[in-house]
Amino acid sequence: MTQATEDLQLAPGARLELWAGGAPGTLRIRVGQRVVWQVPSFPEQPGFFSYRHMSTDRATIEWSGAGAISWAYSWHPDDVAHTGITAWDFGPDGITRRTGQEITEWMCADPDRPRIHFSPVRQWMNDPNGFCRIGDTWHLFYQFHPASRDWGPMHWGHATSKDLVHWTHLPVFLHPEQPLWPLGATGGAFSGSTFLDREGAPVIFYTERLPAYDLVEGYTEIQKRAEPGPGLLGVERTTVVLEDRPDGVVHDFRDPKVWWDQAARAYRMVLGGAIDGDPAVLLYGSDDQVSWSYLGPLYRAPAKFKAEGARAVECPDFFPLDGRWVLVMGFVGHTDPGSGRHNLLFALVGDFENDRFETDGVLQLLDFGTDFYAMQSCRAGDRQVAIAWLFNWENRKPPGSPYSGEMSLPRELSVDARGRLCMSLVDEIAEACPAQTIPGEPGGGFHLPDAPIDLSLTGSLDGTRIVATQDGDDSFVISVENGVLSVRVPCDDGEITYSAEIPGARDLRVLHDRGILEIFADNGSVCGTRRSYDNVSPDRLQVETSANLRLDAWTTGS
């Protein structure tokens, strides 16, 4: 096997972290002629390897089997918060290193990667985790599998932003407590949230799925409390805070969201699960964030959801907003019999007092497109800001991409006078991405640049039809007929319908970014999100409507 060598290019105190295995290969670092660190043979299954460089003398790195290194980066504790990681791409003859703007430019050069939606540099990403703002910095953690572009043993990735558009990629924050790949198991550091105490110090609560060999049953999930190290670059200490499940809860027991309840003068936590097979949200209380007592179900779904395949609630979010309390939850495994849509995300608006959540029981579907799941929100000043995983297992990313998974654009939440949860894009996006109006042509046509587009309609919407094409082939079709808003993308075969009723609505906003559609109607009370991997860069738009129309292109500064 051919071996390559080049200068290490690491300053004293810097760290190199990588995942490698599954094929033959070696890795060795020398200072002078002395070997100071090595992986003599890559393991049969992926493994994590970490090296801290301390020498000021010239050092070299030698490697073979570059294809077995799935993800690698270096970072220095003194400047990583500002510069981010340096991504290393090992080739047979050399290493390509990219930092900061170089990473951004490399990502934007991928014609199939969205421009303004967050995605990992490489490999698999799903649920947002620990989403919060500390000072003027937004922190986005996320479910991450560094060894593959497919789902697998879960870690927490980490990125930060000042404007919710431009992100700095940071080192992996959380690792599974056990090496799962050699066991042939799944599990690891599952989803959770960040709790900010009264001094603004962050504490992480998350689920650890112990080594598991089945994806739908027979696993054990426990809850942990993690204390971050300086700069949120890693974890200093983890504590198991909850292992025992209530009666009727078998194995789904995950995704903690913690808050301080002023009325109870105690901490509260919600978890997703199922009680005797009915999807449910479980409520817990604590005086110290460590010892937790079960207070009962906050919500238990009607029996019809179990009958329609729902196994459990995932990723519950619970928060006060505009004088009410809002519960957001996903029903994993559920398929709506009318439309064929699955894994739907719902909201309930009600009142929370004395540890009881009183609602009218009517679930609000949060996204009729369904590529909006595991939504997580946080309080930022006087706003509730949310972000979600832009994927729902229906359409897989084509082979050959360096990554899989994007996040939605961040949204500001509100409750309207009718008690509906409404979503709108945060103002930071318009501030970070100045708009340029796209002029129309006779007959309602537009020539589209290679940029994110923002289409707004106000007025009578019935009869509206919006068609985007790339080289004459459809990229997406949006229509409003008889008060029903529908969307179709090339992969749709008609078995699943993506539509929502919007009677009387007089506003419609459509965002498109290289295959991602985010649709907002009726003041954000009706939203639809779709991800398509075909014809992702439309060059023409045709709009038939009697409403007032504005079409802008967004510049990203990258």
On whether both 93 and 213 belong to a single domain, the answer is no
DSSP string, 22-57: SS--EEEEEETTEEEEEESS--SS-EEEEEE----S
Tokens (6 digits) for 131: 């989403």
Q: Is residue 195 part of a domain?
A: yes
Encode the chain (558 residues) as per-residue pLDDT tens digits.
789 999 999 999 999 999 999 999 999 999 999 999 999 999 999 999 999 999 999 999 999 999 999 999 999 999 999 999 999 999 999 999 999 999 999 999 999 999 999 999 999 999 999 999 999 999 999 999 999 999 999 999 999 999 999 999 999 999 999 999 999 999 999 999 999 988 889 999 999 999 999 988 999 999 999 999 999 999 999 999 999 999 999 999 999 999 999 999 999 999 999 999 999 999 999 999 999 999 999 999 999 999 999 999 999 999 999 999 999 999 999 999 999 999 999 999 999 999 999 999 899 999 999 999 999 999 999 999 999 999 878 778 888 999 999 999 999 999 999 999 999 999 999 999 999 999 999 888 999 999 999 999 999 999 999 999 999 999 999 999 999 999 999 999 999 999 999 999 999 999 999 999 999 999 999 999 999 999 999 999 999 999 999 999 998 765
Q: Is residue 495 part of a domain?
A: yes
On whether both 411 and 496 belong to a single domain, the answer is no
Q: Is residue 543 part of a domain?
A: yes
Q: How far apart are the C-alpha atoms of 422 and 523, rounded to whole Å?
A: 7
521 φψ region: left (φ > 0), alpha (ψ -120 to 50), beta (else)? beta
Q: Are 138 and 162 in contact (CB under 8 A)?
A: yes
CATH number at residue 532: 2.60.120.560
Q: How far apart are the C-alpha atoms of 64 and 443, rounded to whole Å?
A: 60
Query: For residue 486, which amino acid is it?
Result: S
Query: Where would I find the beta strands (DSSP E) of 91-201?
Result: 95-99, 123-134, 137-145, 155-161, 167-174, 186-196
Domain boundary among 69, 99, 129: 99
Q: pTM of the entire structure?
A: 0.96
Q: Which residues are catalytic?
A: 127
Q: What distance, in Å, lies between the first and last C-alpha atoms of the chain?
A: 40
Q: Are 123 and 143 in contact (CB under 8 A)?
A: no
Domain boundary among 404, 427, 450: 427
Q: Is residue 111 part of a domain?
A: no
Domain boundary among 392, 427, 462: 427
On whether both 465 and 379 belong to a single domain, the answer is no
On whether both 205 and 295 belong to a single domain, the answer is yes
HSE on the CB side for 390, CA within 13 Å?
30
Q: How far apart are the C-alpha atoms of 527 and 548, rounded to whole Å?
A: 20
On whether both 486 and 344 belong to a single domain, the answer is no
HSE on the CB side for 85, CA within 13 Å?
24
Q: Is residue 264 part of a domain?
A: yes
Phi and psi of 106, rounded to 5°? Answer: -65, -40
Q: Is residue 107 part of a domain?
A: no
Q: Which of 62, 29, 65, 25 is nearest to 41 (CA)?
A: 25
Neighbours of 23 (CB within 10 A): 12
On whether both 10 and 92 belong to a single domain, the answer is yes
On whether both 408 and 450 belong to a single domain, the answer is no
On whether both 68 and 193 belong to a single domain, the answer is no
Domain total of the chain: 3
Domain of 71 in residue numbering reads as: 4-99
On whether both 13 and 94 belong to a single domain, the answer is yes
Q: How far apart are the C-alpha atoms of 27 and 4, rounded to whole Å?
A: 10
Q: Which residue has the tokens 């796209």?
A: 438
Q: How far apart are the C-alpha atoms of 152 and 144, rounded to whole Å?
A: 8
On whether both 391 and 468 belong to a single domain, the answer is no
Q: Is residue 108 part of a domain?
A: no
Q: How far apart are the C-alpha atoms of 530 and 536, rounded to whole Å?
A: 12
Q: Are 350 and 323 in contact (CB under 8 A)?
A: no
On whether both 320 and 459 belong to a single domain, the answer is no
Q: Is residue 169 part of a domain?
A: yes
On whether both 371 and 456 belong to a single domain, the answer is no
